[in-house]
Amino acid sequence: MRIDYKEQAGIAMNARTQLADAVSDRQVTLGALAFADELGAILWHMKYGQDVKRAGLRRATLLLASRVRSAGKFKRSKFTGFSTSDKRNARLGADVERASADIIERFAVRIITEWVADLCPTCHGRRWIPRASTPRVAGAVPLQCPTCAGAGKPIEDEAARARAIGVELHVYRRHWSRLFAWTLAVLDQIDADTGHVVREQMRWK
């Protein structure tokens, strides 16, 4: 039987649930997670342990923002929509600089939030919903979720993303859309790497 370490870690993280004691060894599970990358461990606490504390989100934001900057994917003038002449404009002054400095962290907060809360709010990831007018009988065919069109995930909201990071919609579409896709893939890889570390650590316990 294949062990779902994400589920096991999630239960172990939440000591308030009655299931926490059912985990073979709660401290062993959490100890295995401690060997993972710091960002990966925080993301597991947030997504699978439902531990979304402000301090954890802030730390994850800083770690992810640092990775995006170091990857060379962020070019300030393009991604903010501010030109060199804008920055020289005394009317804008320090407000432009502050907006430029904070934008990558706003981006990190938005993308972490999307990655953690990745289930459709209507069907909760099940992709189908029961027919409201039909009694629950054996063999009843459910309806495809109209909110996510059967994807099980929230529909990408470009306007909400643009507002969250503080850019015009056309700037988001031109420069940020690809960065969102790239960074979500990075988080998926961090998630997979964390799972590998936990699995390997648990093999030796």
Chain segment 63-78, per-residue pLDDT in tens: 999 999 998 877 665 5
- 32, 198 Cβ separation under 8 angstroms: yes
- Which element (helix H / strand E) includes 162? helix 158-165
**Mean of pLDDT values over 158-164:** 97
| Domains in the chain: boundaries | 5-118+154-203, 119-153
pLDDT at 90 over 50: no
Question: 111-120 burial string, b = 16+ CB within 10 Å, else e?
Answer: bbebbbeeeb
CA–CA distance, 201 with 198 (Å, rounded to integer): 5
Give the model confidence (pLDDT) of 13-60 as tens digits.
876 655 555 555 677 888 889 999 999 999 999 999 988 889 999 999
Q: Average pLDDT over the chain, rounded to whole? A: 83
What's the count of helices (H) and strands (E) in the chain, helices before strands?
Answer: 10, 2
Q: Can you give the pLDDT at residue 172?
A: 95
Contacts of 71 (CB under 8 A, 6+ apart): none
| Beta-sheet strands, E only, within the chain | 128-129, 143-144
pLDDT at 10 over 90: no
Q: Can you give the pLDDT at residue 62?
A: 96
pLDDT-above-70 percentage for the chain: 75
- 108, 64 Cβ separation under 8 angstroms: yes
Among 47, 51, 40, which Cα is nearest to 15's?
51
145 DSSP 8-state letter = P
CA torsion through residues 105, 111, 112, 117, sign = positive
Q: Can you give the pLDDT at residue 58?
A: 96
Global confidence as pTM: 0.79
Q: Can you give the pLDDT at residue 77?
A: 57
